[in-house]
Chain A
Amino acid sequence: MAKKIRILIAKPGLDGHDRGAKYIARALKDAGYEVIYTGIRQSPQAICKSAIQEDVDFVGLSLLSGAHNELFPEVVSLIRKEGGDNIIIFGGGVIPNDDISYLKKKGIEAIFTPGTPIKDVINFIEANKSRISH
């Protein structure tokens, strides 16, 4: 039986708008993935524990405004510390170009800014799914 790809969509930070995150979650469901959604205002610790317990293959972080340079890398390092070595982490939101290369260096493997077609996200997942562990 083919393994189902599991993806955690999480919203760190304080903003309360999750339309974008919900849209991504629905689109990924329609593409055949199992999507775990945790709701808004999640601490990096809560995101990390959820990712481990749900044994997801990918974590998508969504943040509209603000502290991505602090929060995204913190999630990556917590997940690595908890033994989630193979979890692939990507992000989305209003993120300036200058920050993208910094975040990539910190282990966020892809950043999708508003307006990115959902196809790009799916392509990213498909291109990387051979790396997931079992």
Chain B
Amino acid sequence: MIELSENVIKGQSRAVARAISWIENDHEMKESLIDQIYPYCGKAVVWGITGPPGSGKSSLVDHLIFRMRAVGKKVAVIAVDPSSPFSGGAILGDRIRMQKHATDEGVFIRSMASRGHLGGVSGATSDAIKVLDAAGYDLILIETIGVGQTEIEVMELSDVVLLVLVPGLGDEIQALKAGVMEIGDVFVVNKSDRDDADKVRAEVKYILEFKEQNGNYIENPVVMTSAKLNEGIDQLLKDTENYLHNINLKGQLEARRKLRILNEINRIISGKIEEELKTFITQKEKLDNWIEKIYQKKCSPYSFVNENFKTFLKEYKKP
């Protein structure tokens, strides 16, 4: 076993940190690392926390860490923030609200930028979860800003998703209805210390009435919190744990986890085929030359791909 895997399993935070870097940088030993730690995974529960910018996700995470530490659980956080599409850089600032826990040995916080990952940030997050799980963290909290497809994919890695809404979103709640509302399991109306929080709660309940209700339907909790006043957090914990308990009883948790494995296999397969195919095609002729041919209308994009894909399937042998 490589040394890093051993140290991850021992729960050494420096090793955990380095392992996540290996994942982010697509290190050549990454797959061996995951292979070796995988048997030690399976104990952690993963909560996703998403919602519009500034809704109080990190502040809530901070409170959740306190509660979980009080009952002796080890907690890890992965906070995903968007990268700049222009420079590729990022400012990762979620830690600011959680720094009280920085020196607590039972807490591990890692910030991750959303761009520049092979297999997308969901691929990287999925492997980072394995590292944290194998290292012995009981609860893994994943924070994303709930807007795009990328973030939804990250949320699909969790056992339960907390969708954080706030008063004053205006029409945004309408927009949220379309995609993001569907991924929420527990609905949190944060900033309940503000006016109109009740209105948001009513609106959420109203929207939820339209959800498909088959025999296996488990009611989605709607919880009012104020991270500022430290109110409603115990209720949030109770409702979330209760929800997890119920989906577990009905076999939905297992189904969810298996679906995740299916998605993961698909992601790895497409990634590998893509990589091999690209190398194969560009070995024969430079991609630039192909582009030139298509540009000159000597072949169409489809005929280019089909031709090459056929020879790829015929001639390809793994070196």
Contact = CB atoms under 8 A, between A and B. Distances in A.
Please determine whether chains A and B interact with each other in the same assembly.
yes
Interface of A: 1, 3-4, 25-26, 28-39, 42-43, 45-46, 49-50, 52-55, 82-84, 134
A28 B89 contact: yes
B36 interface: no
B142 interface: no
Nearest to B26: A1
Contacts of A33: 89
B102 interface: yes
B91 interface: yes
Interface in B15-56: 16-18, 20-22, 24-27
Interface of B: 13-14, 16-18, 20-22, 24-27, 83-84, 86-93, 95-96, 99, 102-103, 108-111, 113, 116-118
What are the 9 A-B residue pairs with the smallest beta carbon separation, nearest first? A39-B96, A46-B102, A29-B89, A55-B17, A32-B87, A32-B89, A55-B21, A3-B25, A37-B93
Given A4-B116, A134-B25, A35 B102 contact: no
Nearest to B83: A34
A33 B13 CA distance: 23
Given A29-B87, A45-B103, A37 B26 contact: no
Contacts of B27: 134
A38 B14 contact: no
A3 B25 CA distance: 6
A35 B96 contact: no
B103 A46 contact: yes
B137 to A, nearest CB: 12
A3 B87 CA distance: 14
A4 B111 CA distance: 13
A43 to B, nearest CB: 7
Contacts of B118: 1
B199 to A, nearest CB: 32
Nearest to A49: B102
